[in-house]
Structure 1
Amino acid sequence: MKKYIIILTLPFLFAGCRTSEDVNSDPHASYETQPEPLLTYAQKELSDYLTTPSVNENNSRLMMQYWQETIYVNESNYDFTNRNVSNNVWRDNYVNVLMNLNQASKIITAYVPTFAEAAAWPAKRDNQLAILDIMKVYTYQVLVDAYGDIPYTQSLDNDKYPLPKYDNAATIYADLITRLNTDVNKLSSTGGTFGNGDIFYKGDIGKWKKFGNSLLLKLGIALADVNPTLAQATVNQAIAGGVFSSSADNCKFQYLAASPNQSPMYLETASRDDFVGGKTLVDYMNATNDPRIAEYYTDVDGVYIGQVIGAPADFASFSNAGSFAYTSTTPGIVLSYTEVSFYLAEAAARWGIGGAPAALYDSAVTSSFTDWNLTADAAGYLAAHPYDASNWKKSIGEQAWVAMYNQAVISWNFYRRLDYPQLVAPATAIPNAGGKVPVRLQYPPLESTTNGTNYAAASAAIGGDKLTTKIFWDVN
């Protein structure tokens, strides 16, 4: 049986929250280790964040109205402060992911190879550093897409910058694209990698190149409405470099049956009855006769019933999540062929890049059906719900919303960029939501108290630290 070595070598501290040596120096942590377990840990933590439905950490399934809470409905009504959600998101991505990736990079950079290793070391070193940086790029994009302006250039050097400044989000995006191009170009099939320490791809450089180009596509599409020149150039470059071409390319973290490496979704669902299906998606799938509903949800006496968003629910009276959510080994999805397929359809619809929009739309929807072992049902569904060139944002936006059911963080991006589906906030939502589904997370309260000057400057720069303040690329 496989066992993952899960080691956290860096202290639990927020970027910009260092106040003393005691805070920053964990007496129980090991500061001398190998890069492989650091990579494994960072990959697991990234996957855990994207996958978990924990209301303490990731409420994207609730915001996208896939699920609804049963008893405590604070988060369904966009109260994310009660459980310090933003503090947890910030810590998980900056500390558990980025800091560990950065520490692995430092170890590799400082390593002096033996005489026997010397000839092969430069290629292996470059591959390892490129893989680590590709993951950093992915994680920084997650943070920008959640908050807007964030600590970036000063974010990973607590000794030099204990209170880091926040960088402009658009500037960060441009730099991420540059970094990613450099990383992909450095990858060499003749060099070594991390081997089994790399849970995503087991060191397969060909897979990492496709991942890098697919991430480049994702970055480019995000800029479509705010910087179309850079967006198109980036998308063209990504496609030319080679993006995902089938589900065999999916980047995922395979969880195990045994604790502590079980799916975080399973850990939240197996022992508690905290979630039922959200009425918005359940009703949509009922109305469209979508066969995937039987995989997404359980039925109640032969029918699928979702609860009104924001309202408490009796667990037994409504459809629950499907069996995938109650399976300990369900993998966490970091980037999927289905997601990439929708980006390709969007690029074709916007700019005529990469092929015919209708055909790429069909491929994206079919890929989603394949994800749930329903490929044979895709053609009938598409015949009833064809691509609409007159309102391509609606066609792609609504179908991506359905398809990204198990990638809710990504679904939130589609929703904000394409403005479909047209989700309605519950009447019971907190006043701070302004009667709308949130379009960003507020900065962590801990940042306002420990890094107050930089926090205040960032808040002013983005137009206010609010749930209603749009990310820079969300201009429509």
Structure 2
Amino acid sequence: MKKILASILLVSLLQSCGRESMSEINTDPNSYYTTVPSTLVTYAEKQLTDYVTTPNVNINNFRLTMQYWQETTYLDESQYDFSTRNVANNVWLYLYVRTLKNLDQAKKLIKAYKPTAAEAATWPNTMRNQLAIVDLLQVYTYQILVDTHGDVPYKESLDIDMFPLPKYDSGKDIYADLIARTKTNIANLDASGKSFSSGEKIYNGNVAKWKKFGNSLLIKLGIALADSDPALAQSTIQAGITGGAIMSSADDCVLPYLTSPNYSQLYTNLVASNRTDYVAGRPFVNYLKNSSDPRIDQYFQKINGDYVGGAIGEKSPATVNSLPGTFAYVQTTPGILLNSTEIAFYIAEASARWGIGGDPATNYAAAVTASFKQWGKTTAEAATYLAAHPYDAANWKKSIGEQAWVAMYDQPLASFNFWRRLDFPVLLPATNAVAEAEGKVPVRLKYPVSEQSTNPGNYAAGSAAIGGDKLTTKVFWDKN
């Protein structure tokens, strides 16, 4: 891991800077140590969002795994061959190096900053707010790593000088620490003070909104523990609800992509690449059609007057299958990290499990309605849909699981978690899936191949601790 971090960190830090910082770098080879932290935050936020939202088969294949899309020509990834392209290596590049390490460097610069005389009185408060925001982004990123792999490097992951070969920490222990960190960050956020005056691109330094994000992150962390640690799950979720979470689209945690060259990763891979690699997945399209779901016209484009999906794991030409919706072909489509629809579904699930947050049927309806409104549909359309697809208290996992699958269409990592936790929808494995999938849809991503060669001792210990580095090994919270 040290080789990955050391060789790419400098490039990542240099790329993170804006035009003013670049001019300094061109004259000072050591300026990446002294650049202002906001430039590192900008870079980290974009790299994190790029990873979460990209459909690039070298980086993030969860749209394929969740059967939203199918490949037109090359079938490796839809058949779960993630090793040939070393996908996990790129996951760690984006998350450990380009996101976590840049955020870690930003923390160091914030702590080392010497305020001016005019800033001296307010700087302690500003510093706490900045550090809390940066740490919340790190918490979010580490959760992705645990949810994707299981046990991963954590405590030793960012100090490559002291820990060139970092050990793997227990996913359960990491989660407990992430919850504690999030609570501390929320407590440290003071909406009456300042944070970043520039560079922070998600909420533009709005501390009140970052506090809502922190409470929402508690809910996201808590619901993942529903089957592995119900007591901690409930207390964590309740803390997030009580503290005030993202309940409106106005508070959604999204990165606003721009026009060239900083356009969305969907546009990058569907338009700028000059390729047509993806069409609708048949199971998902058929579910939408059978449900008479009006969101289908936002999710996909008609082909020959109909919505058609390709068989999972089979070549599916764009000439006879539906392309993704037009939103994916727009440069400025925002990248979603966490939004009110996702939180609404977590609260619906929490209320179904334990009665937290209100009536389950009401929360279920609120979650579905939030998704409809997110995709430009009306409350009336949602009501009509809900009348035909009411909450089923006797089989709430199916009700919430299938509706979350539909709602999380543009949030495939969240969808992957819902599916593993609730076991709905029922997904059948791809045709001609690779042998290491063992006839199943994968439930985790294997560790990077590079770890086997550069960190073999800790890789072996980490793999043994989770029950083997396999696509079929469940992460610690996936109990069913």
Does residue 296 (structure 1) correspond to residue 299 (structure 2)? The answer is yes
Q: How does 1:176-215 map to 2 (within 5 A)?
A: 176-215=178-217
Query: What SS is found at the alignment partner of 2:298?
Result: helix
Q: How does 1:450-461 map to 2 (within 5 A)?
A: 450-461=454-465
Does residue 224 (structure 1) correspond to residue 226 (structure 2)? The answer is yes
2:445: which partner in 1? Answer: 441
2-structure distance, mates of 1:275, 1:28: 43
1:124: which partner in 2? Answer: 126
The match for 1:428 among 425, 432, 438 is 432
One-letter amino acid of the structure 2 residue matched with residue 329 of structure 1: T
1-structure distance, mates of 2:30, 2:318: 42
Pair 25,134 (structure 1): closer, same or farther in 2 beyond 3 Å? closer
1:9: which partner in 2? Answer: none
1:73: which partner in 2? Answer: 75
Does residue 332 (structure 1) correspond to residue 318 (structure 2)? The answer is no
2-structure distance, mates of 1:309, 1:24: 37
Q: How does the TM-score come out when normalised to structure 2?
A: 0.94
The match for 1:401 among 405, 411, 421 is 405
- Deviation digits for residues 358-380 of structure 1 (CA, Å, limit 9, x no counterpart): 00000000010001110231110
1-structure distance, mates of 2:112, 2:206: 24
Q: How does 1:76-225 map to 2 (within 5 A)?
A: 76-225=78-227
* Alpha-carbon RMSD: 1.4
Pair 23,304 (structure 1): closer, same or farther in 2 beyond 3 Å? closer
One-letter amino acid of the structure 2 residue matched with residue 67 of structure 1: W
2-structure distance, mates of 1:34, 1:172: 30
One-letter amino acid of the structure 2 residue matched with residue 392 of structure 1: W
Q: Is the 8 A contact 1:223 1:230 kept in 2?
A: yes
1-structure distance, mates of 2:276, 2:207: 42
Pair 29,316 (structure 1): closer, same or farther in 2 beyond 3 Å? farther
Which deviates the most, 113-122 or 434-443? 113-122
Pair 56,23 (structure 1): closer, same or farther in 2 beyond 3 Å? closer
Instruction: Give structure 1 regions of 4+ aligned residues with deviation exceeding 2 angstroms.
Output: 15-19, 21-32
Deviation of 1:118 (Å) = 0.9
2-structure distance, mates of 1:18, 1:80: 19
One-letter amino acid of the structure 2 residue matched with residue 411 of structure 1: S
One-letter amino acid of the structure 1 residue matched with residue 264 of structure 2: S
2:18: which partner in 1? Answer: none
- Deviation digits for residues 52-86 of structure 1 (CA, Å, limit 9, x no counterpart): 00000000000000000000010000000111101
The match for 2:422 among 418, 425, 439 is 418
2-structure distance, mates of 1:161, 1:262: 36
2-structure distance, mates of 1:243, 1:189: 15
2-structure distance, mates of 1:133, 1:199: 15
Does residue 277 (structure 1) correspond to residue 263 (structure 2)? The answer is no
Deviation of 1:247 (Å) = 0.9
* Structure 1 unaligned residues grouped into runs of 5+: 1-14
Query: What SS is found at the alignment partner of 2:78?
Result: helix
Pair 28,129 (structure 1): closer, same or farther in 2 beyond 3 Å? closer
Does residue 377 (structure 1) correspond to residue 381 (structure 2)? The answer is yes
1:351: which partner in 2? Answer: 354
1:240: which partner in 2? Answer: 242
One-letter amino acid of the structure 2 residue matched with residue 374 of structure 1: K
1-structure distance, mates of 2:331, 2:9: 34
- Deviation digits for residues 387-433 of structure 1 (CA, Å, limit 9, x no counterpart): 00000000000000000000001100000000000100023100100
One-letter amino acid of the structure 2 residue matched with residue 423 of structure 1: L
The number of residues matched between the two structures is: 460
The match for 1:466 among 467, 470, 479 is 470
1:3: which partner in 2? Answer: none
Deviation of 1:280 (Å) = 0.7
Q: How does 1:46-65 map to 2 (within 5 A)?
A: 46-65=48-67
1-structure distance, mates of 2:53, 2:198: 22
1-structure distance, mates of 2:415, 2:446: 19
2-structure distance, mates of 1:46, 1:18: 17
1-structure distance, mates of 2:30, 2:339: 37
Does residue 250 (structure 1) correspond to residue 252 (structure 2)? The answer is yes
- Deviation digits for residues 173-231 of structure 1 (CA, Å, limit 9, x no counterpart): 00000000000000001221113311110111110110000000000000000000111
Query: What SS is found at the alignment partner of 1:197?
Result: coil
2:3: which partner in 1? Answer: 17
Query: What SS is found at the alignment partner of 2:33?
Result: coil
Query: What SS is found at the alignment partner of 1:185?
Result: helix
**Identity score, percent:** 57
Pair 178,125 (structure 1): closer, same or farther in 2 beyond 3 Å? same
Deviation of 1:28 (Å) = 9.1
1-structure distance, mates of 2:52, 2:4: 26
1-structure distance, mates of 2:208, 2:190: 9
One-letter amino acid of the structure 2 residue matched with residue 357 of structure 1: P
2-structure distance, mates of 1:119, 1:30: 28
Q: Is the 8 A contact 1:17 1:451 kept in 2?
A: no
- Deviation digits for residues 283-337 of structure 1 (CA, Å, limit 9, x no counterpart): 0001000000011001112211000000012111101100011111100000010
2-structure distance, mates of 1:113, 1:253: 29
1-structure distance, mates of 2:8, 2:370: 47
Q: Is the 8 A contact 1:324 1:330 kept in 2?
A: yes
Query: What SS is found at the alignment partner of 1:454?
Result: helix
Query: What SS is found at the alignment partner of 1:79?
Result: coil
Which deviates the most, 197-206 or 399-408? 197-206
1:38: which partner in 2? Answer: 40
2-structure distance, mates of 1:189, 1:249: 15
Deviation of 1:29 (Å) = 7.8
2-structure distance, mates of 1:426, 1:18: 32
One-letter amino acid of the structure 2 residue matched with residue 434 of structure 1: E
Q: Is the 8 A contact 2:312 2:431 kept in 1?
A: no
One-letter amino acid of the structure 2 residue matched with residue 459 of structure 1: S
2-structure distance, mates of 1:354, 1:438: 32
Q: Is the 8 A contact 1:17 1:447 kept in 2?
A: no
Q: Is the 8 A contact 2:9 2:97 kept in 1?
A: no
* Structure 2 unaligned residues grouped into runs of 5+: 12-28
Query: What SS is found at the alignment partner of 1:406?
Result: coil
2-structure distance, mates of 1:427, 1:327: 32
1:268: which partner in 2? Answer: 269
Q: Is the 8 A contact 2:9 2:98 kept in 1?
A: no
2-structure distance, mates of 1:282, 1:97: 34
1-structure distance, mates of 2:59, 2:32: 26
Q: Is the 8 A contact 1:18 1:163 kept in 2?
A: no
